[in-house]
Chains A and B, each alone.
Chain A
Amino acid sequence: MAQRSIEIIVGLFMIAGLAALMFLALQVSGLSPKSAEQTYTLYANFNDTGGLTPRGKVSMAGVTVGSIESITLDRDTFQARVTMSIHAEVDNIPADSAAVIRTSGLLGEQYIDISIGGDLESLNPGDTFYSTQSAMNLERLISNFASGR
């Protein structure tokens, strides 16, 4: 076969490989082209984070509005301090909103749901949620129920 047609076929082969990689990136892993999104940081303290993990999602009314950066232990209060990065366009979260840990489905992963408050002022970058609700711990619930407390 002529050198030129071989070159064309090899070029098409390489393009097919790149297209496959693009497909894996965009369609399979859901990487959006504007991944370098502007975010700001909010904090929340929980008594019990349960199975919450970094990179988990933060949602509001079921819509993902950010992700969990890190989970650390506060040495003074012995509470878990969760750092969240929230998309910059969601900058009007009312200041008395609560961060609640929920589970998606019965056995799914845990995420933070922000239940909206009614305050006219909104949370600024670096603020901490005033009210939080820890993960529902089924074992603790049952033992509380059994001991009648």
Chain B
Amino acid sequence: MIKKAGLIFLATVIGLATVTTGFAMGKQENKKAIVLANFGTTYLSALKAITTIQGEVKKDFPNVTVRVAFTSNIIRKIWHKRRHDTAFLKAHKNDMAEFLYIKGPLATIADLQDEGYRTIIVQPTHVYSGEEFADLSAYVHGLNTIHTIKAKYMPFSKLVIGRPALGTHGPVHDYHKDMEIAAKTLKADVALAKEHNAALVYMGHGNEFFSTGIYAEFQQVMRRTYPGVKIFIGTVEGFPSLDDVVTLVKHTKISKIVLKPLMVVAGDHANNDMAGDDSDSWKNTFKKAGIHVTPILHGLGENRAWARLYVQHIRDAAKDNGIEF
């Protein structure tokens, strides 16, 4: 009861404080924040990929507010339902509070703005610049087109977006460089394949609306970085397809592969499309071709080195836009 009263008191104080700095009146605050935009996951076991990235970012920016946003509507709804799930709250109340109230990137940005954060870096945890990144960029762009009559009432001082792990188009940050750096973070996967005396095959997500040529290009970068092991990359949607990869693997007369998702979270795609028991899963398609398969069910986000790519991209976005932490 005392606790509750204390909370109400605290809330009132904060409320009053907010009112005084208030909505488009007087001098606006300019606090800085980072929004980590993920597709999201409902599985606690898969959450590790997201919390690893979040942990790395928080570690490097200890004085900056870091919020996670999920872009998937369905996944957010499932989390919101858990707020009323007494069993869930009993088991996870403290460690999961952030996800119970998880919001989309738009709401997260709006909340931050409301709380006086006017400098915001949105950092997606995407692998490459595809549909998801295009949509997120459109959100950020849209918000940046808000122009108030008086400059002092502009909602944002700076609202910027960081680039995906494998970079994006444009001359500022050479995506070839991004790919080279990303390739270096995958050392452990290559070592594992070597240990198995196998080729390394990645399953990327891809999409049907953009060219997915970057996967083929990244495959080449990986091969150059690790000449000792045969490396292949395919996608669930787009080029190179599973059939393309199987044909190539067969052509090289390889009899064993280590199969891993080239996705941040090892979710349904990894568990079903890649390592599922259906005859047309990636695992079984390779087996039908006479190839021994060792599937690895870990998302890229669980790899700390990969997670740090996003930290660097936040730093770059800050530097490019004159944001100082």
A and B interact physically: no
B residues near A, CB below 8 A? none
A residues near B, CB below 8 A? none
